[in-house]
Amino acid sequence: MAPTFLVHHAARRGNRYPPSSLSALHDCLEAGARFVEIDVTPLADGDFALLHDARLDIATEGNGPVQAATAAQLRGLRLRWRGVLTDECGGTLSDAVSLALNYSSLVELQFDLKVHMPLTDATLQSLARLVAPLGPHVRVSSTSDRAIRHLLMLAPGLALGFDPLRHLDVEPGPSPTTSQYLCHAGAYGYLDDHPLAADRWGEPCEYLKTRSDVLWAMVPAPVWYVRATLLARMLDDGFDWIADLHRRGARVATWTLNPDQPHHRTLAARLVELGVDRIITDNAAGMAAVLGASVAF
């Protein structure tokens, strides 16, 4: 069995520093991490903030939309983490690229592009230009199918990845629909606004296979980032999305599984057995110890 690669989610390594911060990224790289993921959100001047959310006040001492701030303004703001204002200041995509260039152990730095409003081609071209110095050691992923399709055209050599979270999902929770993006719980029990989910017209595995076909036709990305509980629910319904994507020539990364959660450990082992290519985790070393010799990080 080929090894499964573990990815440090939002550059965290055991939650030692605020997620998506330069110190968190530095900590991962100093530890020899080969695969690291970090969130980015567009700024007003063409750079990108190492932030997940649309507003500055969620993770910094600032206020207003992230997309209205400049790189210089962001670097002057302290990060808020676990309700406490830290001494860590905001970082940018260009800062992260400069830092990563110093580490020969890095195989891939994944920038997960957060899209809180439609992005112009100029913004996407700026993203491609900023990450270009990393060459083959960078990948841009997103839940935005539009952003990924446009990047395929604007930057043909850039490695890309797609998360279908805005199109198909499953969420545990007290209400039938708890997704940030999807409004309806479909006839098969998945969060899905597509007409195929409106009524039961076949077995669950038939519905899931057809949804996979539709999603692939929309975004034929080389790496797919799929929620672990969604993959598990599909398996229980008789559809192996890992095998289906492998058949199409794509790799599968799953998120987010951590070794301190017993059900995460069980699910990670199940997905590794089925050939998942990457597991996104906050603690790669801990998850590697749980899973044993079949993983690398």
DSSP code string of 117-155:
SPPPHHHHHHHHHHHGGGGGGEEEEES-HHHHHHHHHH-
Per the listing, tokens 């440090």 go with: 8
* Greater model confidence, 171 or 79: 79
Per-residue pLDDT of 250-294, as tens digits, reads: 999 999 999 999 999 999 999 999 999 999 999 999 999 999 878
Question: Is the pLDDT reported for residue 177 higher than 60?
Answer: no
What sign has the CA pseudo-torsion 106, 23, 284, 138?
A: negative
Residues forming beta bridges with residue 108, ordered by sequence position: 35
- pLDDT at residue 172 in the model: 58
Q: Give the pLDDT confidence of 19-76 residue by residue, as tens digits.
A: 999 999 999 999 999 999 999 999 999 999 999 999 999 999 999 999 999 999 999 9
Dihedral sign from CA coordinates of 132, 34, 42, 17: negative
Express each pLDDT in 224-244 by its tens digit. 999 999 999 999 999 999 999
pTM check: above 0.85: yes
- Averaged pLDDT of the chain: 95
35 CB burial (10 A radius; 0-12, 13-18, 19+):
buried
HSE toward the beta carbon, residue 181, CA cutoff 13 A: 18
Provide the pairing of β-strand 84-89 with 78-81.
antiparallel
pLDDT of residue 16: 86
Cα gap 64→58, rounded to integer Å: 10
pLDDT band at residue 15 using 50, 70 and 90 as cut-offs: confident
Of 267, 240, 241, 242, nearest to 256 by C-alpha is 267
The pLDDT tens digits for 80-114 are: 999 999 999 999 999 999 999 999 999 999 999 99
pLDDT (0 to 100) of residue 173 = 57
Taking a C-beta distance cutoff of 8 angstroms, is the pair 111, 151 a contact?
no
In the chain, what are the domain boundaries? Answer: 18-159
d(Cα 110, Cα 8) in Å, to the nearest integer? 10
Instruction: Tell me, rounded to whole angstroms, the distance of Cα 110 from its chain centroid.
Output: 8
What's the CATH fold of domain 18-159?
A: TIM Barrel (3.20.20)
List pLDDT tens digits, range 105-164.
999 999 999 999 899 999 999 999 999 999 999 999 999 999 999 999 999 999 999 999
Query: How many angstroms separate the CA atoms of 199 and 19, rounded?
Result: 41
